[in-house]
């Protein structure tokens, strides 16, 4: 009978962070793969530099399922970029979307992202948070790897390389990498940027709320969806969200 894996306690996470806090991304991914086995997943947005994290997973733990949340409002270039990377790196990508199509949402509710913070929060809950939680549930994820970096947002600056979110262990292999380290890795392995980077898009999300930025701006200034630079995927669920997901059968 297969052994039951027990989620590490917070004290165990403290110990693992002390042991692995300065390790290479490859070592951390290998640790996660050995610890969680087929209960390990990774997530990606197929954004500007997503090829880095996807290549690392491909190199170290190539059988890891990868989740991509498809809001239905991604740029055409994002869908094309995703297909190119999937073929090149032979990735096992699972696309998840809201049960309600974008056309139906707009017919019933209008353009939620234009309806202030309440509308934005509803948009994110429908199109990002719920699909991601459903994906994690469907794949039985106990460990979740994400390519977050500490210099991206204030929230991410406070994360640990091995952390916890909503009962799952969250692993951030490239958390402390700088832009220069990202560039060096991409050049060393001849990895592609998202094609819209050449047009000044340095942080790429939905087409209705992403704009180009200049070199003197924070890349996240190009994401104009609501007041927070976080889309909700990498934030702990609120009590209201937990209740909503429970009632939906997750």
Profile the chain (250 residues) by mean pLDDT over runs of 10 residues: 52 88 94 97 96 98 98 97 98 98 97 94 94 97 93 79 91 94 97 95 90 76 62 54 47
The residues facing 18 across adjacent strands are none
Q: Which of 204, 208, 250, 249 is nearest to 119 (CA)?
A: 208
Q: What is the pLDDT at residue 228?
A: 54
pLDDT on residue 247: 43
DSSP letter for 142, please. Answer: S
The structural domains of the chain, ordered by start, are: 10-247 (3.40.50.620)
Please give the pLDDT value at position 234.
Answer: 56
Q: What per-residue confidence (pLDDT) applies to 240?
A: 55
Provide φ and ψ at 225, rounded to 5°: -100, 95
103 three-state secondary structure = helix
pLDDT at 155: 75
The single-letter DSSP state of residue 206 is B
Cβ atoms within 10 Å, residue 120: 20
Tokens 């050995």, residue? 34
Nearest to 38 by CA among 63, 60, 66, 58: 63
d(CA 123, CA 100): 11
CB 209 within 8 A of CB 223: yes
Per-residue pLDDT at 8: 57
> 1 burial class (0-12, 13-18, 19+ CB within 10 angstroms)?
exposed
Its pTM stands at: 0.84
Neighbouring-strand partners of residue 169 = 143, 164
Beta strands 168-171 and 92-96 are unpaired
179: its two tokens: 């832009």
Q: Give me the torsion for CA of 23, 27, 29, 32, rounded to 10°.
A: -90
* Residues tagged active-site: 231
Per-residue pLDDT at 5: 54
């Amino acid at each position: 009978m297969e052994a039951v894996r027990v989620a590490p306690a917070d004290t165990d996470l403290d110990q693992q962070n002390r042991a692995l806090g300065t390790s290479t991304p490859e070592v951390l991914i290998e640790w996660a793969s050995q610890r969680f086995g087929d209960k390990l997943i990774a997530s990606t947005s197929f954004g500007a530099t997503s090829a880095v994290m996807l290549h690392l997973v491909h190199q170290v733990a190539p059988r890891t399922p990868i989740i991509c949340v498809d809001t239905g409002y991604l740029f055409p270039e994002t869908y094309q970029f995703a297909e190119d990377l999937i073929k090149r790196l032979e990735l096992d990508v699972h696309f998840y979307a809201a049960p309600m199509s974008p056309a139906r949402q707009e017919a019933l509710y209008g353009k939620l992202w234009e309806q202030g913070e309440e509308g934005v929060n509803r948009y994110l809950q429908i199109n990002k948070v719920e699909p991601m939680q459903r994906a994690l549930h469907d794949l039985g994820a106990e460990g979740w790897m994400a390519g977050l970096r500490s210099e991206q947002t204030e929230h991410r600056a406070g994360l640990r390389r091995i952390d916890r979110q909503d009962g799952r262990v969250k692993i951030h292999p490239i958390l402390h990498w700088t832009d220069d380290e990202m560039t060096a890795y991409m050049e060393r392995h001849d990895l592609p940027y998202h094609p819209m980077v050449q047009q000044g898009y340095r942080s790429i999300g939905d087409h209705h709320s992403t704009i180009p930025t200049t070199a003197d701006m924070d890349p996240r200034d190009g994401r104009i969806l609501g007041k927070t630079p976080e889309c909700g995927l990498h934030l702990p669920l609120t009590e209201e969200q937990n209740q909503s997901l429970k009632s939906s059968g997750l």
